[in-house]
Structures are given as C-alpha cells and as structure tokens.
Amino acid sequence: MLSAILFVIASFVIGGIPTGYWLVKALKGVDIRELGSKSTGATNVWRCVGKVPGTVVFIIDVLKGYVPTALAVNLSHGALAQQWSFAPDVVPTFVAMGALVGHSKSVFLNFQGGKSAATGLGTLFGLCPMGGVLTFFTWLLLVLTVGYVSLASIIGVFMCGVYFWFYDAPMPFVVYCALSFVYVTWRHKANVKRLVKGEEPKITDKKKHIPEPEKQGAQTTEDLPNIAQN
C-alpha cells in the first residue's frame, strides 16, 4: 500500500515538471505564463515561441505521463504484483491521474501549469497503447482539419474511452478516460467560451514576434505583449 501511494506522489511530481516554463525561460528569458493563454503547455509555447520549442515541449510532456504510467502497469503485473494485488489495475489508474493533475498543478510553479492534454495522452499510451494511438490520430486529424487544438483535445479525450472499451481495457482505465474528459474539458473552459464566441485562434494563425528583453529594454514580462490567446 505504501509503495502504491509513493508511486502516485512521484507521478504527480514528474507530471508537474514545467517543461514549457523552463524551456521558454532558457530560450527567451521570459515567463510563458505571461504570454498568450498563460499556459505552460505545448500549444502556447508553439504559438508564442515557435514550432520547434512547442514540439519539444509536447514530446517531453507526453513522456511525463507515459513513463510513470507504463512503469506502474508493468510493475502491477510483475515485480510488485503481490504488493499491489489488492488493486492491480487501480494503482496504475491513480498513477496516471497523478501525472495528469500534476501537469496542470505543478509543485514547481505554485500549482500552476498547462492544460494536461499532452501529459494525459502519455498516460493513455501507458495504460492502453492502441487506445492511446487512436486517440492521438483522432486529435491530429481534427487539428489538421479544423485547426483548433483545444477542440481536438476535448474530442480526442472523449473518444479515448470508446477506444479503451473497444480494446477491452480494464474498467478502471475506462473510468479514468471519463474522468480525464471532465478534467481536460474543465481546464479548457476559457477555450470553450472563445469557441462559442468564434474568437478561438487556430494553430495556423500567424504568431506575433516576441521582442527580446535585452534588446527592447524590458525589465519584466509585463513589458511583453499578451499575444495569441489559446
């Protein structure tokens, strides 16, 4: 029982590693939480800083969810099978939830963070690989066709439960998909409001230039433009 609790806590901390914040700080010397949607996630980094940094953040954020979740699944049926025999499928589910919530409530950023879509995708890969793959391609297809990352994320996480059920994933994993849909949608509530108003930017919208603080004489991120809401 203790090992399971420690594993969930470790997953929460790993999920909270602020990839976007640290990368943008290193590249631009600014706080990504003061730009765009103020999210530390991959989409905001992509739009405000560039495609390459955004892609790097996306990959690492996916791994933050995948690594602890996949490890928990393997251990629950391997080295720790006896210790976790009381709930072999429930423990990985809580580990996945720890990473999901940890990303948006980072212990490194006073419990601020991203919207958990990429890290949540990583947990799906760990729980049910084919369900995760189908969820990713659903998300990608929607991004390429409609251009709204937020809408694609919400619909993708909704469909993951269907995919998990189709592949006979354990019921706790399917329940996790349903809870993830609620959580990710709640994290995107501002995006939903903009979608309804027709004000949500698309991924293809041209990003504005972020002035370099040392060149512009900016002392704080408050001197920088609040660009590209997402």
pLDDT tens sequence across 149-170: 889 999 999 999 999 999 999 9
Structure tokens at 69: 């979740």
Strand partners, 106: 112
DSSP-derived secondary structure letter, 82: T
Q: Assign 213 a pLDDT band (cuts: 50, 70, 90).
A: low
Q: Assign 52 a pLDDT band (cuts: 50, 70, 90).
A: very high
Calpha distance 106→99 (Å, rounded): 10
Question: By the 8 A CB rule, do 84 and 76 touch?
Answer: yes
Would the pLDDT of 224 be above 50? no
Report domain extents, the chain: 2-103+111-209
* pTM for this entry: 0.83
pLDDT tens sequence across 77-108: 877 767 667 777 899 999 999 999 999 999 99
112 phi/psi in degrees, rounded to 5: -110, 170
Predicted pLDDT at 56: 96
Task: Tell me which residue of 78, 19, 79, 75 sits closest to 49, measured CA to CA.
Answer: 19
Question: By the 8 A CB rule, do 165 and 134 touch?
Answer: no
Q: Assign 60 a pLDDT band (cuts: 50, 70, 90).
A: very high
Strand partners, 112: 106
Q: Assign 38 a pLDDT band (cuts: 50, 70, 90).
A: confident
Average the pLDDT over each of 50-59, 163-172, 182-191, 199-208 and give the range with the smallest value. Answer: 199-208
Predicted pLDDT at 203: 73
Q: Assign 27 a pLDDT band (cuts: 50, 70, 90).
A: very high
Name the CA radius of gyration of the chain, rounded: 18
Task: Tell me which residue of 103, 77, 101 sits closest to 91, measured CA to CA.
Answer: 77
Question: By the 8 A CB rule, do 205 and 22 touch?
Answer: no
Q: Assign 132 a pLDDT band (cuts: 50, 70, 90).
A: very high
Which runs of consecutive H residues, i.e. helices, occur in 105-147?
117-127, 129-146
Stretch 201-227: mean pLDDT, rounded?
52
Predicted pLDDT at 210: 58
Average the pLDDT over each of 36-50, 93-107, 152-166, 197-211 and give the range with the smallest value. Answer: 197-211
Predicted pLDDT at 105: 92
For CA atoms 49, 52, 58, 59, give the dihedral sign: negative
